[in-house]
Structure 1
Amino acid sequence: MPANNMKYRFLGNSGLLVSKFGFGSFVTFDMQMDFEKSYAVFEHAFKSGINFFDSAETYADGEAEKFIGKIVKTGIERGVWSREDLVLTTKLFFGTKLGHGGGGPNDTGLSRKHIVEGMKGSLKRFGLDYVDVVFCHRQDPYTPMEEIVRAMNYVIEQGWAFYWGTSEWTSAEIVEACEVADRLGLILPICDQTRYNILDRSRVDYDFTNLYKKYKYGVTSFSALSSGVLTGKYNDGIPEGSRMSIPWFKNILSNGLEEKTTKALQLAEVAKEIGCTLPQLAIAWCVANNNVSTVLLGASRIEQLDENLKALEFEDKITPEIRAKIDAIADFKPELTKVQDNVHQIRGKWI
């Protein structure tokens, strides 16, 4: 067991313990990256106590899963970890062909066909017999909920995954899935993977409140740094090579950027007050929420990962007084993220 101060939480209403910080692979891993450098970051994350490693079939059009699979195999061969030491996850919906503008009508979505074929494809790319958790990467309004629930249970029955979850679903959709599973005597989803940060907290702090009480539903959160806004890197404009300089990222994320950077400057003063950096404040704020099972981090360098991991030292400093200051600056007004617009464009075009 790694010597560290990492703490663990149960993943929703399950007996699975996951590290308070997880490691994501969205725009982090693909086969074009230097393998040994990427392996070193992954190994450092593990030795720092992280056991939750996340991916998806669509990341780098399937290449991220191949890359992680190679890392996992290498670590086993080198005696660093065993498969049992790791909680590996993937997500199904978007397939692996969207990035190339290809794919047919059944290469995306949550039909039984795509869930089963997608799961087999993910395991083949990973080079593994199973993942620990498989998520429905979006809700599919074109597929009956009973079909989705039965298909995810089939995946578990085959031993391809131990648990299933949702990603970017609304509470109403999650309740429907749970009620269908209950009615059929099937396994319920245990958690949702969703965006959560000081500037965007609609789902976790508002929409999901009933889910925690009713189902002990878990959250694996991403975008703790609001796609870089809460690092302060955009305070003086968009630097070359940053995520926001990528055209499709900029189109999605730059809306309201000026207002967000103004808030980031004010939040940096709060960070100074408790003796940490702005990114550490943002991450500590997320992990201080006990409803969040794990906060996903991304890093391409060990130094970057270490800086983020230090946020754990400031979790207890997110006192009611500090939280009130953060809330006053954020001035957040809840609204549901319009994630389904993209879903209708992808699935609806075939109808």
Structure 2
Amino acid sequence: MKTIKSILGISLIALLSFTSCQDEIDNQIGENPNTNDANSVAASNYKRTAMHDGSFDDFLDGNSCSSILLPVIATVNGTQVSVISQSDYQQVLNILGQFNTDDDQVTLQFPFTVRLSNYTEVLVTSQGEYDAIISACEAAEAEGKDAISCLDIEFPITILTYNLNFEQTGSLVIQSEQQLFAYMDNLGNDELFSISYPISIMFSNGTSASVDSDASLQSSINDCLEEQDAEEEAEERADALEQILVDGTFKVQSFVNSGVESANNYAEFTIDFANDLTVKADNVVNALVADVEGTYAVTSQTEVFLSLNFSGSTSFNLLNHTWEVTSFSSTSISLKSTTNAAVTLVLTQI
């Protein structure tokens, strides 16, 4: 009986030891820098930053998860364009930019080939096939599995490999995004990895940073995704402002320069913004006074900006600024000069 109890005791100790060891592995995976597995946050971050970024030609295909391999024939707002190389993108952009409030239409001629986020190249022969690619992209975006395009890793980087006993089994020098994606995509369940830090990253705004841990990379991703969201929101506000400008007729309600209010200099004028990016100030009191003509542009970063460029009038030349849009509604637009915050302009709709 004592022998049986001894055997049972030894077995229990062994089982507890194994369970404890397994718990240690489970608890450390994704936290210890040497124990990132295929399902860890770090693996997901590196895989997503290494995906093929198809957003550079979204004006052409409207799909950030894939890009079109040239050549392709597109009908842009009724005009057929043969896009042979990336230098031909400007033809498409010029057509799309002719009017800022029209409903742009780009129709692609089948067949054409796309490169997906996993670097696979697919021949698309019908709208149905392309709709399926777009739907898959939308699903990936909704699940947070699409490409992270707001930062790039600067190569080469070194990956250290481990087995499940946390023993280093080797190292691998990664030279490109595609090579990094392939490694993360094919990472086995019996493999662990870590990144040899520090590494350098480049943000989409052109600034660079050094990353010294998985947590540091996660923080950088969070920051740049937050800025990317702000840029997308600003772009939507810019579109709304353009529509308000084109649909309305405005007057200068207030123009303050160096502490002096000079709106009276513009009291006789109305300002009309056209959808071809021209602007005209019309004297509605004295028909003998010539119209003042100019151009305008609405742009955005994380804020919205309105640039005015009048010519032929001393008074209206004073309005030639790149203005930050501090607030706007369907009846009023408040602006602040980007070079001198003390210079402000308020346009109200008549």
Report the TM-score range of the alignment, normalised by the length of the smaller protein: under 0.3
Task: Give the TM-score, by structure 1 length.
Answer: 0.26
Higher Rg of the two aligned structures = 2
Q: Which of structures 1 and 2 has the larger relative contact order (alpha carbons within 8 angstroms, sep 6+)?
A: 1
Higher helix share goes to which structure?
A: 1
Higher strand share goes to which structure?
A: 2
Task: Give the TM-score, by structure 2 length.
Answer: 0.26
